[in-house]
Homo-oligomer: A and B are copies of this chain.
Amino acid sequence: MAMKALTKPTIYQVAQLAGVSIATVSRALRDSELVTEQTRERVRAAARQLRFTPSGSARSLAEGRHAANGIVFPDLVGPYYAEVILGYEAAAAATGSSVLILATHGRRDPAAAVRDLAGRVDGLTVLGRTVGDDVIGQIAASGVPVVLLARDPVPGVDSLRAANASTARALAAHLAGHGHRDVTFLGDPEGSPDVAGRFAGLRAGLARQAGTELHLVRPRGLDLQAGEEAARALLRGRRPDAVVCANDEVALGVLLAAEAAGLRVPGDLAVTGWDDLLAARFAGLTTVRQPMRELGAAAARWLHRRITETKRNEPARAARRRILATEVVVRRTCGPHEEVQQQ
């Protein structure tokens, strides 16, 4: 049977077996027009027999491109980033690019990891609070195109995000319409640009509503447990009319804590989230829906444009910015509605 593959076969072995030059092998395997059907077949047979797979690094080096791009995100907990990455991967695949992922969360030195990644790709998408502006700036200046996603802009770098402030204002108006006056925001504006935008929008929206007040409480994180803990503490003190949470997971934690405390939602306490996770629907949680997959896809497409225009040495166009629309999804937890609102 087949002998053991002690060492990976190279183009040379294929050439030898097929009785042609390596140049011909390269051409035949990449469907160049410049080969006889006959030679092509012979080469293919040899390649198959040897189980030859071209070395990606050698190819990249010779072609002067990596045929890959990277995406950097803080973590992968919760469906949010997963959806973004899925959209990203699909769009990147359409442009013939592989995707390298990098989670900065548990890293010793995120900046170093991102710099290293920058050397392995044709372009990079960076999400949220992963590395500082300085790192972004250096990478962009070193000639690697960068797209920012859900992150504060950096001069000269494309950036893409979902609407936060405007929708948060709409949410504020909706809550005020329910008669909620004493509102607490559960989230850390310093923790992420998205959260900052949501808080700012909420504040602006409530400022237009007479007699409302807004308090800020920072949970330990953005997960279920952080929400639960924060709510437990919060509900022991003066209880607000409504808790607006930085994301759905925190809001779901609040729901759990409220239930444990014997409070009715929305009767005793209104709660809202952000993201519209699947769980939000089953919890009846009023929230905000974001086009996550589209966000990822758009980033991949922008990056591809930058990469091709850089390669062609075209005059670099000015940095682009775009904000994708989001929408309030009204369900049960924001307050009693006359008519049944179904989503």
Residues of chain A whose beta carbon lies under 8 Å from any beta carbon of chain B: 2, 5-9, 51-61, 66, 68, 75-79, 81-83, 85-86, 89-90, 93, 98-103, 105-107, 113, 115-121, 138-139, 141-144, 224, 249, 252, 255, 277-279, 281-283, 313
Choose one: B56, B77, B106, B119; the contact of A119 (CB below 8 Å). B56
A106 pairs with B120, CB closer than 8 A: no
B119 pairs with A53, CB closer than 8 A: yes
Smallest CB gap from A77: residue in B: B86
Choose one: B6, B57, B141; the contact of A57 (CB below 8 Å). B57
A136 to B306, CA, bound (A): 36
Choose one: B103, B116, B142, B313; the contact of A51 (CB below 8 Å). B142
Residues of B within 8 A of A82 (CB): 76, 79, 81-82, 85
Nearest 9 pairs of A and B residues by beta carbon: A56-B120, A82-B82, A57-B60, A76-B86, A51-B142, A279-B279, A282-B283, A53-B119, A5-B143
Residues of B within 8 A of A119 (CB): 53-56, 59
Instruction: Tell me whether A57 and B120 are in contact in the complex, defined as CB-CB below 8 angstroms, given that A82-B81, A101-B89 are known contacts.
Output: yes
A98 pairs with B100, CB closer than 8 A: yes
User: What are 10 A-B contacts defined by CB distance under 8 Å?
Assistant: A5-B143, A8-B143, A51-B141, A51-B143, A57-B57, A57-B59, A57-B60, A93-B107, A101-B101, A252-B282
A201 to B216, CA, bound (A): 51
A55 pairs with B51, CB closer than 8 A: no
Residues of B within 8 A of A281 (CB): 279
